[in-house]
Structure 1
Amino acid sequence: MKVGIISFTEGGALLCARLCSLYARKGWDCRGYVPKRFFRIGWEDIGIVRQEQTLAEWTGSMFREGRNLVFIGAAGIAVRGIAPYVRDKMKDPAVLVVDEMGSYVIPLLSGHVGGANELAVDLAGAIGAQPVITTATDVRGIFAVDVFAAKNRLVITDRRLAKQVSACLLEGKPVGFFSDFLFKDEIQGKWMPEGFRDHACEMNLWITAACKERYGKNCLRLVPRCVTVGVGCRRGTREKCLEEEIESALREGGIHPAAVKTLATIDIKSDEAGLLALAVKKGWELKCYPAERLLAVEGDFKESEFVRRKVGVGNVCERACMAEGGRLMLHKRSKNGVTVAAAQAQVQLETF
């Protein structure tokens, strides 16, 4: 956890030191910032520095670092400070306000996805303060799509539908709940959060890696990033060609593109410009395995003698996507000098 704490008064500086000490014991990456005139010798040992930036400069640096922000002072100061930097509820860091007496903790931004509500409750409990939570689902104890998705690292594929699911739950309307994956706490039957139904309704939620339609248009997909795409290609294959062939293969295999986490290939392709550029563009991890590792992968793979003579293994894409285990979802598909296969890792979900 990365946290930045700023204070403006002597009382705030003392509370800042208390919080920095607390978070240091938790092993968090915490930095505290206090006015020069209130700085005390020894505070540098718990991550506190003299504040020399303007409020705007400090806030901007925290946002760029993806650091959660705690303002010790008036809520208005925090609102003015973060205003130029607020962009996207799915990406903005958590922002909290604590009064200098340590009586109240108020999450201002990214209460769910950014974890501000959870951080506020944790912080309040540590200093004996009252957390002030205002989000409707929390206040009423109703399932929150974004919290559930963040907890399980699921991609929310449609924000409009996510809002509609929450609206239905708040209004007491039933929502269908379906999952292609098991939950860790499942013993008998299927776990289902309160307010949902095990049959299709007007609005539905489906946890899946599939791109096919099953529960109608009003169906929010939450997608785990659990798929590894194995790729083989000719030297010098362009990024656009690789992207088109991978996307086409995913459609053919019925795999949602948001499910892809990793791009895998043989190590002699580790300097392939098209693969490197595509991995960066898509935010995929690129894994490159030596031929010996790929040969050790167990399975029934269709081998090419020509490819074996070239790179030392007769099937790169299937062996590469299966190198870390999992289930082969898409067998070798070859077109325009690009071979593609895909495997799905095991997924176990946490209950809400």
Structure 2
Amino acid sequence: MTKANAVVAITKHGTAIARRLQERMPDVDVYYPEKFAKGDEHARGITAFSGSVVAHVPSLFRTYSGLIGIFSLGAMVRLIAPLLKDKKTDPGVVVIDDRAENVISVLSGHLGGANDLTREVAKALGARPIITTASDVGQTLAVDLLGRAYGWEIANFDKVTQVSAAVVNEERVHIVQEAGERDWWTYDQPMPSHLRRFDNMADAMKEPFDAALVITPRLLSAEEAAAFLENGVLYRPKVIVLGIGCNRGTSEREIEDVVDATLRAANLSPQSVRNVATIDVKGDEPGLIAFCEKNGLPLVTYPAEELNAVEIPNPSETVYKFVGAYGVSEPAARLSSGATEWVVEKVRSGNVTVSVCLTPDSAKPVLGVSR
């Protein structure tokens, strides 16, 4: 595997289509029977296989993000049926007919990307894309994809199916967005009237609704969860920036404990953390690196002169003596987030200091040097 998607053909016509697709889509690996080999397969990076395609599909299904078969829909269904596990992990599967007239999204249309892949393949071949997902056909909100392009996480995926049904059946759905990118509605047409946006839960509670989409970094109260999540999906937008300072040799466990306690006290979810920021001399701190890697968080660093340019409420001569900056966690959080104030100015516990900011616009780039 060298590309994201695998194209598999089993007929003479299919082989020609696969070769054409390789020329027009750089992100595909091509596989077809060796009896249709042209002699240039090695030069083009094409795999000519022996035996039946049945022996090869399981490996391709597990290895690639997308699987494109140039054979019938029924044949693909039979091939992949024993391999299916979960819509969150199964790859996107697409089929193309033997004359490249139709491109059909078969499996994992949303999370696996099959619908987008279908459109891309159809455009490359001048074919007709066939997509049957209700939200795509109706040009309405796809519950399982909302905010995915921005890195939002769904905290309660078990509610996606029932809330998706409410959306496509045009039931009253309230969208409560307290943070995160606001430009997620991408259709040219206005949002349907049964979908209503609110900036806070208090306003949303004033109108009756059947289902809800909640976009917030906050930890919900029991009352809020009961009202909005019984038939609602909770999204965690990436809007929290952690400024972290620590002594040399501080363990990953100590950093994590202080961060967890700080976020919990601030009523914020760790799922909404976007990145960690610190001073450049701490960019190689093993414990801090381990914390970021464990939690999948980018680490952004700033030189002392940039940190000193930020006016902070708790400057420290002691910190300046050791690292040349009057503060680390506070100015680093401000710089990286683009915020004008702190949610948490500074918490110091043991060898760790933590400051917390919320991004005013989480589409802004993370400044500084990324590790």
Q: TM-score range by the shorter chain?
A: 0.7 to 0.9
Which residue matches 1:205?
213
Which residue matches 1:286?
299
1:281 match: secondary structure: helix
Of residues 168-177 and 242-251 in structure 1, the stretch that sits farther from structure 2 once superposed is 168-177
- Retained in 2: the 8 A contact 1:307–1:314? yes
Runs (5+) with no aligned partner, structure 2:
198-203, 365-371
Q: Deviations over 1:38-83 (max 9, x none)?
A: 222556666534346976556535644x532211123355445545
One-letter amino acid matched to 1:248: A
CA distance, structure 2, for counterparts of residue 79 and residue 173 of structure 1: 32
One-letter amino acid matched to 1:210: R
The answer to whether 1:323 aligns with 2:308 is no
CA distance, structure 1, for counterparts of residue 83 and residue 293 of structure 2: 24
1:148 match: secondary structure: coil
The percent identity for this pair of structures is 32
Q: Deviations over 1:300-335 (max 9, x none)?
A: 241122222122212111122233342133211112
**Match for 2:158 among 157, 160, 164?**
160
1:147 match: secondary structure: coil
Q: Deviations over 1:195-245 (max 9, x none)?
A: 213433342212222223457342422222232211112233222222121
2:16 match: secondary structure: helix
Pairwise mapping of residues 1-352 of structure 1 onto structure 2 (< 5 A)?
2-24=4-26, 29-42=27-40, 47-51=45-49, 59-60=58-59, 63-64=62-63, 66-79=64-77, 81-82=79-80, 86-180=84-178, 181=180, 183-184=182-183, 192-198=191-197, 199-200=204-205, 201-213=209-221, 214=224, 216-218=227-229, 219-296=232-309, 298-327=310-339, 328-345=342-359, 346-347=361-362
- Retained in 1: the 8 A contact 2:41–2:48? no
Change (3 A) 1:231 1:71: same
Of residues 212-221 and 282-291 in structure 1, the stretch that sits farther from structure 2 once superposed is 212-221
After TM superposition, give the deviation of residue 192 of structure 1 in Å. 4.9
- Retained in 1: the 8 A contact 2:33–2:48? yes
- Retained in 2: the 8 A contact 1:205–1:222? yes
Which residue matches 2:368?
none
After TM superposition, give the deviation of residue 337 of structure 1 in Å. 2.3
- Retained in 2: the 8 A contact 1:157–1:223? yes
Of residues 135-144 and 276-285 in structure 1, the stretch that sits farther from structure 2 once superposed is 135-144
CA distance, structure 2, for counterparts of residue 153 and residue 286 of structure 1: 16
Change (3 A) 1:86 1:281: farther
CA distance, structure 2, for counterparts of residue 314 and residue 57 of structure 1: 61
Length, aligned pairs only: 339
CA distance, structure 1, for counterparts of residue 266 and residue 289 of structure 2: 24
1:13 match: secondary structure: helix
Using the size of structure 2 for normalisation, the TM-score is 0.79
TM-align CA RMSD:
3.0
Runs (5+) with no aligned partner, structure 1:
none
One-letter amino acid matched to 1:318: E
After TM superposition, give the deviation of residue 194 of structure 1 in Å. 4.4
1:40 match: secondary structure: coil
CA distance, structure 2, for counterparts of residue 58 and residue 287 of structure 1: 41
Using the size of structure 1 for normalisation, the TM-score is 0.83
One-letter amino acid matched to 1:322: R
